[in-house]
A and B are shown apart, each in its own frame.
Chain A
Amino acid sequence: MLNVLILGIGQCGNRILDAMNKEAMGGGGASKIAKYCLRPKFPSRVETLAINTAINDLKELRYTTAKDRLHVPNLHGVGANRNVGKQAFMENRDSIMGEIEKRGDFDIAFVLTSTSGGTGSSFSPLLINELKRQYPNIAVVTVAILPFREEGSIYLQNAAFSMRELMELDAEGIILADNQYMKRIGGDIASAYDKINSTIARRLLFLIESLDSEMLSVTDLGDFKTVMNGGLRIGTMGFYQADGKNSSIKDAIENSLKPNNLLYPANVADDAARAMVIIQGSREHLDVDQITKEVEKLTASAGHVFKGIVVKKGLPRVLSIFTLAAAPELESIYAQAARGMQEEKEKRSRARKQLDDAFAHIEDLEEIY
């Protein structure tokens, strides 16, 4: 059995973690009272921990038990300031790692975090580094959420620096999810967040279940680590579930790789470095020849593709995970972040100069009473 640790860092990470707990209780249909009568049914031994410096964010969680919520005392958050966040982590590192240690040994850890927020963007690189230091044998995969572009320059700045630190870590790669890209699946911002979180949560659970299942065609944690170490060690996930009108496994695989079904904008045919395709469905839908042909087709562009087939009642469902050899969208983010930072710097200089000019009026004067 796979031992999995899922850490939700910051508000965004916490909510994705909460969504995973909700999905484990029955998915989107789970009512508010489900937590009172059900236990999360994870496919493996899964331990979760939500970490945040803002206690109000922790209180908003609904499907995560209290013991799985860790408040790092730092007033009420770090105010999107990564330096404050890093300092708070370092001051509370032992208690954070102590909580993780209580949850036993693990084979893989997923760190769910926003790249733009204060706690998530500052804690995650340090925490992953600490995890790899204390548990060198476990795979640590980061699920990093890129911000809406219009959220502000600080968030973009945080995303830029946080992503750089994450990529510099000696971890098993990053699965990217881009809020800006997935904004289309929701209506307003609030429901978009919820749907994005649920989508990410379902795909991660699918992945964990598949890695811990007896497969017709085997893929395992080692294969997953190999995929995640490919290319830039930055990847994303695609998912598709066939419907009654079209239960073709071929179409399901192809659809799972289409940009509409990805968490991050990528061109699989051009940018994929390594991939893993995991297929679930009833045996009558699992035509191995078709699956093999589709995988071979993907292999031609992606280099190496692992395939896993899990016989499970229902229409075909396909999860595709791949790492990228190129990430043009990231570059645009960095460029936008740099512009924002430059503008911020210039604004600050202008403001400083205006202020200095203003102060010049009272230079050499003293207060008279």
Chain B
Amino acid sequence: MKSGKRAERSLKRAIDLQDEDKGKKQSLDILRLLSLAVIILLLSTAWIGAVLGADDDDDENGNEVTYNDFTLGIGDRIEISNYRAELIEIQSVKDGIAVLHVSRTGGGLDEQRAFLENRANNFVGGAEKGGITLTVVDILDEDSAKVRIEYQESLGTPSRRASDRPISAGDKPALTVQKSFDKSKISVGDEVKVTVTVKNEGTGKALNIKLDDAPPLPEFSYIAGYPPKIRDSLDPGQSDSAVYMMNAIKEGTINVSSIQVSYTDSKDNIKMNSSLPFEIVINPKSVADLTIRMDSSGPLPLGGTGMVNISLVNVGTAPATRIEAKGDIRPPMGLEGSGFDRSFFEIPPGSEVNYSVMLSGKDPGNYTIHLKTTFDGGDGYAIREGSTEVVVLKREYKYEYLLLLIPIIIIIVWLYKRHREYKY
């Protein structure tokens, strides 16, 4: 709104300047006009008759008014006969003001005028009187406008001439704004650093830069740095950024809205730009989770030894810290093992620690090795337990079956011996 008023004021000032020049000239021209009026009155009778008699001739001689529309860029011009109209600049797209420089070869016309959109401007009496009439029918953007030229056909056919001046970027700021997160994977509880970067990629200085950032609540809570602040103005090529910290507090897919930057150029034109919205996913909170794997080396012979291999695997998404493992054997007598109790500072996610415990079987039976592990999983202390069975075998008599054979053999030998004794 402010910039609109400013543009209106500048437009009035331009019109006032034109009125002031006209005032100065009026006093000098009054005398001229009076003398001209007498002459005109004298000649009018003859002229009126001549005009009335020549109306049909004019039409036949090509004095019919026609028009053409041309789309002109800055510096482009329309030429017809000895008239030339060049688009100098688009002063305000919003207010519909463009500046054209109109001249005639051989003098008599050399004027630069601000055109209001859709308002005809006559030059040298306008098209009806053998001059030309120019109208900005549409301002396309800051660099181009559609211009209509009305003229008598006798002037010939207008043509568009491209600018023969080097294209000048002019004083046009162009700010881009970008909002980014420092992490692509975010979990609940993570701190996220949001960076807002504004860069002037235009050719003019950007003024009155303001950011409008909608916070993605309630999925995040702000920690510091909000709202982001950047410099009020940026020269061409300059950039500035601001950072604020947020904490992800709720899981889900979040639509991060675009951040909008508004600024004015040197002509107080208000401009805006915004970043693209995007989506991020907040994963559940990262916690550690330990699983206990216990593998024994199989049944132990009585009096023999064996191993039980213990693995603590972090299958969670956060490091497990301050891990304490304590083990015991149930029943406590008959199977001996030491070294179950261990401490580990940290087990990263996906990693594991392994250790082994030597077992010694003293009495046959079934035993249970029970391991209890406490750890800080990032969400407080947690407990995991695991167990494995170990069997201590009874004493193995490898050739026990021979004991069965012995009496059989003895009986057979005995029977054979007795048979031989009685065999005659």
Contacts and interface: CB of A to CB of B under 8 A. Distances in A.
Contacts of A36: 414-415, 418-419
Interface of B is mostly: helix
Interface residues of A, number: 13
A333 B220 CA distance: 141
B414 A66 contact: no
A133 interface: no
Q: Which 3 A-B pairs have the closest CB atoms?
A: A36-B418, A66-B424, A65-B421
Contacts of A64: 422
The listed residue with most B CB atoms (<10 A of its CB), out of A36, A58, A62, A64, is: A36
Nearest to A61: B424
Contacts of A59: 424
B420 interface: yes
A361 interface: no
B423 interface: yes
B420 A66 contact: yes
A67 B423 CA distance: 9
A250 interface: no
A35 interface: yes
Contacts of B424: 58-59, 61, 66, 69
Nearest to A39: B418
Contacts of A58: 424
A354 to B, nearest CB: 46
Nearest to A65: B421
Interface string A53-93: 00000110111111101000000000000000000000000
B420 to A, nearest CB: 7
Contacts of A63: 422
A155 B178 CA distance: 145
Nearest to A33: B415
Contact of A62 (B414, B415, B422): B422
Interface string B383-424: 000000000000000000000000000000011001111111
Given A62-B422, A66-B424, A69-B424, 8 more contacts: A35-B418, A36-B414, A36-B415, A36-B419, A58-B424, A61-B424, A66-B420, A66-B422
Nearest to A36: B418
Contacts of A67: 421
Interface of A: 35-37, 58-59, 61-67, 69
Nearest to A21: B422
A62 B424 CA distance: 10
A59 B415 CA distance: 19
Contacts of B415: 36
A61 B420 CA distance: 13
A367 to B, nearest CB: 52
A63 B424 CA distance: 11
A209 to B, nearest CB: 24
Nearest to B419: A36
A61 B418 CA distance: 14
Nearest to A58: B424
A66 B418 contact: no
A61 B421 CA distance: 12
11 contacts: A35-B418, A36-B419, A59-B424, A61-B424, A65-B421, A65-B422, A66-B420, A66-B421, A66-B422, A66-B424, A69-B424
Contacts of B421: 65-67
A64 B418 CA distance: 11
Contacts of A69: 424
A231 to B, nearest CB: 40
A197 to B, nearest CB: 18
Contacts of B419: 36
A37 B423 CA distance: 15
The listed residue with most A CB atoms (<10 A of its CB), out of B415, B420, B422, is: B422
A35 B420 CA distance: 11
B395 to A, nearest CB: 34
A66 B423 CA distance: 6
B407 to A, nearest CB: 13
A66 B422 CA distance: 5
Contacts of A37: 414, 418
Contacts of A61: 424
A65 B421 CA distance: 5
Contacts of B422: 35, 62-66
Nearest to B424: A66
Nearest to B423: A66
Interface string B244-278: 00000000000000000000000000000000000
Nearest to B415: A36
A52 to B, nearest CB: 11
Interface string B294-335: 000000000000000000000000000000000000000000
A36 to B, nearest CB: 4
Contacts of B414: 36-37
A36 B418 CA distance: 5
A59 B420 CA distance: 13
The listed residue with most B CB atoms (<10 A of its CB), out of A61, A62, A66, is: A66
A32 to B, nearest CB: 11
A112 to B, nearest CB: 18
Contacts of A65: 421-422
A59 to B, nearest CB: 5
A214 to B, nearest CB: 32
B415 to A, nearest CB: 5
A66 B419 CA distance: 9
A69 B421 CA distance: 10
A275 B144 CA distance: 170
A13 B217 CA distance: 127
Nearest to B418: A36
B248 to A, nearest CB: 93
Nearest to A59: B424
A153 to B, nearest CB: 33
A63 B418 CA distance: 11
A22 B423 CA distance: 16
A107 to B, nearest CB: 26
Contacts of B420: 66
Nearest to B416: A36
Nearest to A67: B421
A41 B423 CA distance: 20
A69 B420 CA distance: 13
A36 B414 CA distance: 8
A59 B414 CA distance: 21
